[in-house]
Structure 1
Amino acid sequence: MKKPFRKKRQGGFTLLQFALVVLVSSIVSAVALNRFEYYREQAEIAAARQVVASLRTSLQARAAQLLSTGRERELQQLASANPMNLLLWKPENYLGEYYAPDPQQIGGAGWVFDPRDRSLVYLPRNARSFSFGSSKLLRFKVEFVRISNKSLALNQVSG
């Protein structure tokens, strides 16, 4: 006796299985994108802090050089100059000098020097999530500090 011919069932996803796979992959993608944004912001903060640390080191080295060679009068010039000029290589995101920098007008994220008040300003990519304290912008200024002798320091000032 011959068995009747049966149609072989094709394997694959059912519509419900496909919907579940799409749902789970959407949730995983949303969580991953959120974490990627967080890590990008953390990298931006770390890069800004690294530039500040390099500027502070360069400023201290230049001030020590001036003091050790008896050129204390040049400290005042150093305090009013653009601190980015102390670096051998400027950061890639250094945008130049702007009077009263406005992030909307400049259109980019990075460092700018404001000659009006002689401050160095960091314009973040996302001002809503990148803030230190009360200000949305990071402002740094070279100031005289009295320790044992005249000394200069790059300090964060309120914006």
Structure 2
Amino acid sequence: MATPLRQRGFTLFELAVVAGMFAILTAVFLNRVGYYQRQAQQVAVAQMLGVLRTSLRVQVLHLYLADRRDQLPALARQNPFDWLTDKPASYLGEFAQPDLAKLPAGNWLYEKKEQKIIYLFSNGNIFPSTGVDAVKFKVTLPGADADLDKLVQEPDIVVWKSPGSAAN
């Protein structure tokens, strides 16, 4: 009497369990990747703002030391990216009235009409969203009668929000 040979391999149930575990691990991985992409983007934005703030303060101190404080208001109307020796690769340029929905995410631009710096946030490539997340920044300067201590601390590039804006 021949003994039946036992088949070796996975059963359908075992294969389903492995596929389910793989799907769960993939979902967790994609969630974490998206989180770390957002964190890296926020750090890059903060770093670029730090560079622009430093450039602004250098420009203000140059005007102060040259006794040309009357030119401070004109400084607020300039494109802050023009103060940099090397513009970042993510800088798209100057726009009169940009259509933010048509511009690529993850980039900087300067809006000439409102004199604001805009950063277009990227939501990642895995699950693209339909809306555009943008944050706008405005140059703020002290008055022409400010002393040196105030000039060192007050020139800044701040987040600008319009009423009802969804900007971060």
Q: TM-score range by the shorter chain?
A: 0.7 to 0.9
Look up the match of 2:83: 86
TM-score, normalised by the number of residues in structure 2: 0.77
Look up the match of 2:19: 22
Is 1:47 matched with 2:50?
Answer: no
Q: Which blocks of at least 5 consecutive residues in structure 1 are unaligned?
A: 130-135
Look up the match of 2:166: none
Quick check: 1:145–1:153 contact (8 Å CA) kept in 2? no
Look up the match of 2:160: 157
Return the offset for 1:100. Answer: 2.9
Any idea what SS the aligned residue of 1:89 has? Answer: coil
TM-score, normalised by the number of residues in structure 1: 0.81
Return the offset for 1:58. Answer: 1.0
Return the offset for 1:50. Answer: 0.8
Q: Which blocks of at least 5 consecutive residues in structure 2 are unaligned?
A: 163-168
Quick check: 1:94–1:110 contact (8 Å CA) kept in 2? yes
Decide which structure has the larger Cα Rg and report it.
1
Q: Where does 1:1-159 land on structure 2 (aligned, <5 Å)?
A: 6=3, 8-126=5-123, 136-146=133-143, 148=147, 151=151, 152-159=155-162
Structure 2 CA distance, aligned partners of 1:15 and 1:106? 48
Instruction: Output the amino acid matched with 2:89.
Output: E
Structure 2 CA distance, aligned partners of 1:48 and 1:101? 20
Percent identical pairs in the alignment equals 34
Aligned length in residues? 150
Q: Which moved more, 1:32-41 or 1:142-151?
A: 142-151
Look up the match of 2:165: none
Look up the match of 1:132: none
Structure 1 CA distance, aligned partners of 2:142 and 2:8? 77
RMSD: 2.5
Structure 1 stretches of 4+ with a deviation exceeding 4 A read: 4-8
CA deviations over 1:93-127 (Å, ceiling 9, x no partner): 1111112322212244311101101111111123x
